[in-house]
């Protein structure tokens, strides 16, 4: 984890190798036991606040500046693409950068949420109405943000090359985007440590760490 944030699905070391995502990060699980969710989230928030973009994030941002990239469609929730300088970032699974009161819809920042937890609030509550705070991330059982999903599909329809970076391509509907691109004639480059369901359809498959491979690959295309 070059940026200091653990991933979710890597065998043995991913977050979901230790915890059941439907118990921890489903909408029904959150509503049933928000305290359990926040106990799980607290170290992830700390990692996110301390994280810095790695060479993969930086190379993607530099590539966008060449005018050859339509932007980034990401399942990540850490905001590191923006911190690296990417301007067009579609966050399919939302972001930890903000949270929302489930009663009055008041927004708070990542730092505000972390401070509440650090001070011992087991379930952060809205300072105005007392409603439960929920991070602006897409939980299991929740639909993807409609605006982000529509923009992602539009970008996929406009491109002739999709570089899949560090995704298992097992989580839908996000995993349907490379399939959609391939069906419309776009070429796929898949970079992931492990095999994915789209490897056979890709023009290039690289099983390696993104931070080591992606900067070199994108530099060749500038």
Q: 21, exposed or middle or buried, with CB in 10 Å at 0-12, 13-18, 19+?
A: middle
CA 27/CA 217 separation, integer angstroms: 38
Q: Is 154 a catalytic residue?
A: no
The DSSP result for 64-88, as a single string, is HHTT----EEE---S-HHHHHT-S-
What is the C-alpha separation between 7 and 24, in angstroms, rounded?
A: 15
Q: Identify which of 48, 59, 42 has the alpha carbon closest to the alpha carbon of residue 123.
A: 42
The answer to whether 174 and 153 have CB atoms below 8 angstroms apart is no
Q: How many CA atoms lie within 13 A of 145 on its CB side?
A: 17
Residue with tokens 């989230």: 41
Phi, psi of 148 (to 5 degrees): -65, -40
Active-site hit among 57, 62, 93, 154: 93
Residues with a catalytic annotation lie at 93
């Amino acid at each position: 984890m070059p940026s200091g944030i653990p991933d979710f699905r890597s065998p043995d070391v991913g977050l979901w190798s230790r915890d059941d995502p439907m118990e921890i990060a489903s909408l029904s699980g959150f509503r049933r036991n928000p305290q359990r969710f926040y106990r799980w989230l607290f170290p992830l928030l700390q990692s996110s606040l301390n994280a810095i973009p790695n060479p993969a994030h930086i190379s993607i941002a530099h590539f966008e500046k060449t005018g050859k990239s339509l932007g980034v469609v990401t399942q990540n929730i850490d905001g590191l693409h923006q911190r690296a300088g990417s301007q067009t970032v579609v966050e399919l699974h939302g972001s930890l950068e903000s949270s929302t009161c489930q009663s009055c819809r008041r927004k708070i920042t990542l730092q505000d949420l972390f401070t509440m937890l650090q001070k011992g609030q087991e379930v952060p509550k809205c300072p105005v109405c007392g409603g439960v705070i929920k991070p602006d991330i897409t939980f299991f059982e929740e639909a993807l943000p409609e605006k982000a999903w529509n923009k992602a599909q539009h970008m996929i329809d406009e491109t002739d090359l999709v570089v899949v970076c560090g995704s298992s391509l097992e989580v839908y509907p996000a995993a349907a985007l490379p399939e959609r691109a391939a069906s419309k004639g776009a070429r796929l480059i898949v970079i992931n440590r492990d095999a994915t369901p789209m490897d056979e359809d890709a023009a290039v498959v690289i099983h390696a760490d993104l931070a080591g491979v992606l900067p070199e690959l994108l530099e060749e295309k500038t």
